[in-house]
Amino acid sequence: MNQIDLAGQVAVITGGAQGLGFAMAKRIVASGAKVSLWDMDSGLLDEAVAELGGAAKAIVCDIADAAAVAEAHARAEKESGQVSIVVNSAGVAGANHTLDVYPLDEWRRVIDINLNGTFYVNRAAVPAMKERNYGRIVNIASIAGKEGNPNASAYSASKAGVIGLTKSLGKELAGYNIAVNCITPAAARTRIFDQITQQHIDYMLSKIPRNRFLEVDEAASMVAWLVSAENSFTTASVFDLSGGRATY
C-alpha cells in the first residue's frame, strides 16, 4: 500500500460506518488524518469507531435533512477540528422497477438521499474551506450515472446529478485551493446489494470486462490520493472505477 500523507487533516465521511465509506475511513486514518463518520446506523457507527480508535468520532446524521447536515458539520469542527476533507459516500440503491411504474415515494427518497444529500453536505462544508483557502471533496457517483442502468432510473438519475454537481462546484471553486472531484465506481459487494434484486446484480456483473465486482479497498486507494494535498491541480473531474465498463 502506498503511503499517502494526510497528517493534520480532518475528514468528514458520510456513510462512513460501512461499505465504501468505512474502507475509505480506514485508509484515511492510516494516512494520518482524523475522521468524523456520519451515518444513520448508530450501532454500526459504534463498531466502526471502536475499530478505528481515537482518530475517529461518530455522528448520527440523515444527510437528506439540510438542517441536520449543517448541525453535524458544526459539531465535527468542534469535536475533531477544521474539516479539510469531505467524502460523500452515503447513498441508497433504490428499488428496481421500470420507469413507467416507478413508485413516486421511492423516486423522491432516492433523489433526496443520493443527490440532495450530497448537495447539502457540500453546501455545509464549502464556506469554511473557502475561508481557509483549502479543501478536498470527493463525491461518490456511479457508473450508472454515466451509462444508466435499466430498472434503476432513480439511482441512475441521482448519480448523473452528482456528476453534474461535482463539475459545477469544481469550476466555482477553481480559484481556491479546493479540489472537487467524483468517482464513478462499478458495483462493490456491500450492504447496498441487500436493496437490489439478484437479476440486477447479475446484470451489473455482466457489464464489467474484468468479470468481478469492485473491491472496497480499491476505491479507498483512489480516494486517498484525491483528498491529499498532492492533488493540487485536478478538479471538476470524474474518475472511473468500473473495471473497464465505462465507454467515456
Q: So which residues are the catalytic ones?
A: 155
Given the DSSP bridges, would you call strands 237-241 and 85-88 parallel, antiparallel or unpaired?
unpaired
| DSSP codes of every residue in 9-36 | -EEEEETTTSHHHHHHHHHHHHTT-EEE
Which position has the grid cell 437479476? 199
**Side chain identity, residue 16:** G
Pseudo-torsion of CA 193, 245, 22, 14, nearest 10°? -90
Are 163 and 147 spatial neighbours (Cβ–Cβ below 8 Å)?
Answer: no
Residues near 55 by beta carbon (within 8 Å), at least 6 away in sequence: 29, 33, 34, 35
DSSP 190: S
Residue corresponding to grid cell 433526496: 112
C-alpha neighbours within 13 Å on the C-beta side of residue 132: 15
CA distance 69 to 87: 14
Spatial separation of the C-alpha atoms in residues 157 and 44, rounded to whole Å: 28
